[in-house]
Copies of this chain bind each other. A is one copy, B any other.
Amino acid sequence: MTEIIKKKHFVRDLTAGAQVDDLFVLAERVLSHKKDGNPYMNVVLSDRSGQIKGVVWDSVEQIAAGARGGEIVKVTGQVSEYRGAPQMVIRAMTAVDPARTDTADFLPATDLDIEQLFERLQGLTRSLRTPWLKALFDSFWADPVFVAHFKRAPAAKMMHHAYIGGLLVHCLSMAVLADKVASHYSGVDRDLLIAGAILHDIGKVREFDFTTAIDYSEEGRLLSHIVIGLEMVEKRLQKLADVPREEANLLKHLIVSHHGAPEFGAVEPPKTIDAVLLHYIDEIDSKINAIREFMAKDATSPTWTAYHRVLGRHFHRGRSSTSSETGSPDRASGQMD
């Protein structure tokens, strides 16, 4: 078995003066020429903690020939500072076989314990009472290739849960919340709602590529995770015995309609109580995650964030940002997310 090369330092921790001999993703590379006609190369190196700019002044052509954009590279150099930001002056850089690296080093990933999250999710599917839904999840969980992808998939490229494990975090949070909502209103079909919470975005395991960077796959751009997810579910349903087709259509309708309205990608609007609820639970979980991640990264002021271009507003960080008293000191334990 190949030996894995360990990454030693992460971008977030690099400061001026540091000597570097480590692995990164070669996220971007631009070959240019100085006024004297000699070449140099600007690059962007990334790992799961962030990005750093780099420059190659010597042996430029030789180094440029050794690595393409998107590859994992071994870099030797020193960190300096340029225009107030760290910049790596690169002396050597060569592509490395990804099989010899731990890809988790290169993409941002959830801080939560993925196995534990997955175990909680399986606990929820074991609690279902509908035989064909249990059989459907048994089929998914028994497929190791699917499970491996499912545990790693992100839920988005940029907006929310845009990291390894993001899909699992998102689906589990929604399923737990769905369980609470199902006990709040009568007339809710708990089994379908929880199944929908887990499966509504299932097509994202194929909509995205997430080896060295998170981006849309060919199939993802052409068909969307909604269509891919329907196909994944249907393929397994066909292999199960005794699936009531009317009920299966109600499950598939949850996938079809979870974006809420056609202009946001819903093929049909939600037409059952469960579909309406699933849409709002998805909205809540993705928006709250997006806003909290934006707040976490933003250092504009203790009270207000910078302007969020997509959501079109500044966000206020709440009471804790303006006063010392917190309204809810004891809520931390037991929270999902």
Contact = CB atoms under 8 A, between A and B. Distances in A.
Copy tally for this chain in the complex stands at: 6
Given A16-B33, A176-B184, A287 B291 contact: no
A111 interface: no
Interface in A295-337: 303-304, 311-320, 322-323, 325-329, 331-332, 334-337
Contacts of A33: 16, 81, 83-84
A271 B308 CA distance: 11
A318 B270 CA distance: 12
A78 to B, nearest CB: 12
A253 B319 contact: no
Interface stretch (A6-14, A117-125, A159-167, A216-224): A216-224
Contact of A316 (B84, B85, B181, B271): B271
A148 interface: no
A53 interface: no
Interface string A189-225: 1111000000000000000000000000011011110
Given A218-B249, A327-B191, A186 B337 contact: yes
A118 B133 CA distance: 40
Report which residue of A82, A181, A267, A291 has the largest number of chain B beta carbons within 10 angstroms of its beta carbon.
A267
Given A221-B304, A223-B256, A185 B276 contact: no
Contact of A287 (B85, B183, B276): B276
A188 B224 CA distance: 23
A269 B223 CA distance: 10
A319 B187 contact: no
A283 B270 CA distance: 14
A262 interface: yes
A177 B186 contact: no
Nearest to A226: B267
A144 interface: no
27 contacts: A32-B83, A33-B81, A34-B81, A35-B80, A35-B81, A37-B81, A130-B327, A186-B331, A189-B320, A219-B249, A221-B271, A222-B250, A222-B252, A223-B249, A226-B267, A227-B230, A246-B319, A250-B316, A250-B319, A262-B263, A262-B264, A263-B263, A265-B267, A269-B311, A273-B292, A276-B291, A277-B288
Given A189-B327, A269-B313, 6 more contacts: A192-B327, A219-B249, A222-B316, A262-B265, A277-B284, A280-B284
